[in-house]
Structure 1
Amino acid sequence: MAMVIAIVALWSYLDAASWGTILLRVLACAVILQVGYFLVILAMVLRASPNTAEIKNTKAVADGTPAVPADDLTPKGSAH
């Protein structure tokens, strides 16, 4: 993101733009990049499907049963 903003600033400077125009272009570039990043992350989260373990845990919580059986909570190799 910083590299793109730096390129926009350099391009604006070489284009002989005023400092106000450079600042406006940099701010517009930063806002567009951030909104795009947010939308991509949102799309990735919405497209993610829950895996089998998440579905089982959700069903167990809805049924009132513990999501993890008590015997799974003991350390492996424990004498208890």
Structure 2
Amino acid sequence: MRSITVSFAVATAIALFTFGQSASAAPIGAVVKACDRTAGCNYTLNKAGDLSGCSSKACFYCPNDGKRQCIGIQ
């Protein structure tokens, strides 16, 4: 269980570290896979196609802008 949480933490740490720098954002596929493997992590897709989610440690936002990148949010 701890390794699963660590996997999500690594993916979101990249996004959190690069907050505001979309060129270095985490790929949406990696973030979604990490969230799927992390207990308590949930995400939703809004009508515009934006994806957002949170675990107990971090939150992320993946805009539907064609870049397929996610950023960490607080």
TMscore range, shorter length: under 0.3
Structure with bigger RCO (C-alpha 8 Å, 6+ apart): 2
Calculate the TM-score normalised by the size of structure 2: 0.27
Q: Tell me which protein shows more strand as a share of its residues.
A: 2
TM-score by length of 1: 0.25
Q: Which has the higher helix share?
A: 1
Of the two, which has the highest radius of gyration? 1
